[in-house]
Structure 1
Amino acid sequence: MGGTGERIGLLAALPQECAGVLSWPGWIRQGCEKGVRLYKLKTPRRELRLAVGGMGEGKAIETLRVLLEGFQALKVVCLGFAGALDPDLDVGDVAWTSRVLKLTQEGPLLEGPPLEGPPRGSGLASATVVSLPGFLSKEKLRVALRGQQPPLLVDLESYALAQEATRRGVGFWGIRAVSDEACLDAGPRVAGWLDKAYKMQPLRVIVSMIRKPSDLALMLRLFRRARKASRSLGRELGRLFLQG
């Protein structure tokens, strides 16, 4: 883990993902630029900058651009939630992204850039993260990803961020916490609550819950899992950047 004064950029799509990280003392809110919320934290060994900018590839790349404006980061860390495809993974498990793939709309898988392994002594397990073109059924994903070495996690942004960071010559780390276990296949229902920009639409949520009351129970389950995953991220990232 580097020398004195290293600059680390942290990126998250949603405030819920970084709630555990923002519980660390000392964060200063820098405001909001082009829809991206910015925070900074200085420790004796590091300067951290956190950017939170929304879901999806386009938002992720814009968040990275805003993060790096006037901030020469040694590396950027893509943190957040991921869905598990393997039953051995539990909610709150935190994994290091050792390989990143992209599942395209047409079906083929694209291989991302080579990635570093976890720092020695971190204790983090490694996983392959597959970035998806949207919220898809896990049943269909298991078919599409058959033959890939487990453990597998799915998200929306890791592939795009790894590619863009590599293009810019900035180191890339991915650290994801499981927010929905393999048996919870909520993707298609969550997709119905969002618009094309992956923003939650309250009216859609209300209509969905009127038509299907079980959606309220699903949302509560997802919120509880999100809290647990966020706490796990805060704890593991704290070990890396506050204690390391």
Structure 2
Amino acid sequence: EAEIAAMRRASRINDQVVGQAIAALHAGASETEIADLVERLFREKGANRSSEGQLVCFGPNGADPHHGPDGTRLREGDSVVLDIFIPIGRYWCDMTRTVFFRSASEEGRRVYETVKAANLAAEAVIRPGMPMREIDRAARRVIEEAGYGPHFTHRLGHGCGLDCHEPPDNSSACGVLTRPGMVFSVEPGIYLTGKLGVRIEDLVLVTEDGCEVLNAYPKELQVVG
């Protein structure tokens, strides 16, 4: 229970930081500027130091799920992928939200709504005693049926706790059965090379009869700035 409380607290802080980072987006901002802001906000809220860094991706850079922030400047129409994570009181938070800056194309909106539906579909099926691969399948099915199957290029998620990435592997290859008390990520994404990327990630806690989503920051499509 003490560890669960620590994970809940870390995710509450993560919600606050992602909201502040989104509010700070402005034309001409660089990815590194926003990533540095995220680090600073985490420190102000008592986070531990980490060498991991933050993932901030504008526009076409978002099509690389592991793009490291650089000097790319924010422009109208860009998708903005914010994947932020750090230990707080030794326990990790990890979440991703994607927003659009000043405008969103029809394709961007379609991709976003597909990823959101995949995220919600996966979270809806989580309960004790199910193989992890079935959770991955629930999300992947939504993306495949929308025609974007080849563009969901990674596992659905990973365990999280005293390390950011730890067992169990939330993937199509994992037969581990879920148990109450497990915490892992649910992070489907669609990545269109040269155009944009969208990922939506929550941490979830398996309960006795389902799951508790630890992140409360909204998942509705946002056009900001």
**What's the TM-score once normalised by structure 1's chain length?**
0.29
Instruction: Give the structure with higher Rg (CA).
Output: 1
